[in-house]
Structure 1
């Protein structure tokens, strides 16, 4: 997932103040006001942990925990801030981690697979005493969430996937299904290092991107939010896509909600229908009009409404069908 689009006006010269740093602080304050606190979870617990997961957790023990997994882009706060108050008002207790190599989460281990990410987040949930939970994953977070649900069905009660192309196959890139033709080009797109690369990503992911994206704001964003762990993030993509085949993708047993932006150019609608077919009647697809890959940022009210309704439904009613909203 890309960062929220920058302001559509401003100087082309160097920014004196850091817009990205100020926005990051603003999102952190929103999490604090919503009753969440930041926590660094060392894994394994001990004096020399190999992995640390940073996460925002409820100040009190959660009664209805909902794990929110972010996509590529900035840290989790940038992608989930609009969802906190509606979810809490609906009776949910959001738990919002940074995946490994995003935000303040990191590891010294060499594994870059989605299975490693899933095991790491599950271990962090165990460490804070949350044994069962609902799960929402957006884009890359959906890949990790899908793997978590398959690996730990006793812990993940039901799943919402937002524009998560888990049914893609590596051959799809060469066959022209995506705007990139190989894993290397995908990494260059999703791990931008220059303003023109951020512009391309925003224009691919938003239906209505800003007409003007000043370079000073984009350089600022890259410096503050996207300059760490560039190589590791590229390795995550290689591990995710290389050799990927639908035939090896497990089928989830949990009720699954699939949410997709109708004009998604990163993961086209074909992948939404492919996933719905793959789950064989255990899922429901909701297509949101006038939205692209960044549907969670373009249409947060519609996305949040569907999430709340899905997780409140009885299990028997939580699957099947295709809805357009």
Structure 2
């Protein structure tokens, strides 16, 4: 299956995987401001099947999505070493790719990654709002679900939500996603192989009420080179609520990977 994607730059491939339901714009919105300042990287942003402009076809499982990603890597990257970034469900898929090809992946970064797959089994904080900019909520439309996840309610985060997150939510194939979610677990568990010995980043939001921050701590034995950080004043949209910290952590991870 051919996945729709956009690419920017030249150099070491960087594969960036968005989360469940949005599309590639979630990743370009937060990562391009970082990579535009860093020459030497070719960024690849695919839409996962059933999301964005990538059709789901007859895919009915995460295994099917992983198969489509394998084809994408074969076509766009081949045997070349590459860096991997995943957000939320994209972090779950990234863990699966690391298990399959640890020798090819130079480093993995996970932003608010799924640690425990099923929501009912996760250790989650309650959703809270810590910062509200006067007048912002009055501009939120009745059909926008911005407030459901926002920990920082500001004109800046609302604009980023509208440009990076909402467009993907609007075009997702909900019927296909419901079908796929019935077989959400990968057949081969992501951490079923030996520990991954290259630089990793696990970045979580302290107020993330979707994937949380506690379950990801249990991943650390499998990633002995991981920086694990829990960022205050950040929910599941950490990338738009704490962009400066995201940039600092991603830059430091890239530096570690470059020295390997």
Rate the CA distance shift 1:150–1:283 in 2: closer, same or farther, 3 A.
same
Kindly state the Cα deviation for residue 259 of structure 1 after the two structures are TM-superposed: 0.5
Aligned-partner Cα distance in 2 for 1:73–1:151: 24
Runs of 4+ with >4 A deviation = 195-198, 221-225, 241-246, 248-252, 314-317
Where does residue 173 of structure 1 map in the other structure?
120
Native 8 Å contact 1:72 1:139 kept in 2: yes
Where does residue 90 of structure 1 map in the other structure?
38
RMSD: 3.4
- Unaligned 5+ segments in structure 1 are 1-50, 181-194, 212-217, 318-325
Task: Compare relative contact order (CA 8 Å, sep 6+) and give the higher one, 1 or 2.
Answer: 2
Aligned residues: 235
Native 8 Å contact 2:125 2:208 kept in 1: no
The structure with the larger Rg is: 1
Is the counterpart of residue 125 in structure 1 residue 43 in structure 2?
no
Kindly state the Cα deviation for residue 265 of structure 1 after the two structures are TM-superposed: 0.9
Where does residue 235 of structure 2 map in the other structure?
292
Kindly state the Cα deviation for residue 252 of structure 1 after the two structures are TM-superposed: 4.5
Aligned-partner Cα distance in 1 for 2:27–2:253: 20
Is the counterpart of residue 255 in structure 1 residue 199 in structure 2?
yes
Rate the CA distance shift 1:242–1:96 in 2: closer, same or farther, 3 A.
closer
Where does residue 101 of structure 2 map in the other structure?
152
Native 8 Å contact 2:18 2:24 kept in 1: yes
Q: Report the TM-score, using the length of structure 2 for normalisation.
A: 0.75
Q: Name which of 256, 264, 267 aligns with 2:208.
A: 264
Where does residue 56 of structure 1 map in the other structure?
6
Rate the CA distance shift 1:83–1:282 in 2: closer, same or farther, 3 A.
closer
Aligned-partner Cα distance in 2 for 1:101–1:161: 22
Aligned-partner Cα distance in 2 for 1:135–1:90: 16
Deviation by residue 1:210-268 (Cα, 9 ceiling, x = unmatched) = 69xxxxxx9xx98985254102112333322599989x754541332100111111122
Aligned-partner Cα distance in 2 for 1:163–1:98: 18
Q: Report the TM-score, using the length of structure 1 for normalisation.
A: 0.62
Native 8 Å contact 1:138 1:164 kept in 2: yes
User: SS of the residue aligned with 1:159?
Assistant: strand
Kindly state the Cα deviation for residue 96 of structure 1 after the two structures are TM-superposed: 0.8
- Unaligned 5+ segments in structure 2 are 127-140, 156-161
